[in-house]
Amino acid sequence: MRDKALPEDEVMRILAETRARDYSYDRFLSTMCTLPHPIAVRAHNMFLETNLGDPGLFPGVAELEERVVAMLGELLGCPDASGYVSTGGTESNIQAIRAARNEAGIKDGNIVVPA
């Protein structure tokens, strides 16, 4: 580990060089990634320093999560929906399997996946 941190301009140069190796959104078709909508970028930046995992410190974020779950429940015809906002697809899939297991009352489930 370094005894002294790199200067900010050096860190930014390294990050810019690394980012330059990535493709831009106008260079590919059919991917799970898309260019974020400008409103999404602004919203993300507004809440960058909050943590949904600590609703005691960030009750506003917890309220937004409840509102999102309620809106999605209404949209899907389930006005008494419960849930939470996950960090992405993998977490969502794992939690969906967990919820289905719990709803079915299974105690010792087994998931078989290809090697």
Report field, pTM of the whole predicted structure over 0.75: no
| Alpha-carbon gap, residue 82 to 68, rounded angstroms | 10
| All residues at 6 or more sequence positions from 74 whose CB lies less than 8 Å from its CB, including other chains | 81
Region of 113 (left: φ > 0; alpha: ψ -120 to 50; beta: rest) is beta
Tens digits of per-residue pLDDT, 13-27? 999 999 999 988 888
pLDDT above 80: residue 102 = yes
| Alpha-carbon gap, residue 70 to 90, rounded angstroms | 22
Amino acid at position 105, single letter: G
pLDDT above 80: residue 32 = no
pLDDT above 80: residue 1 = no
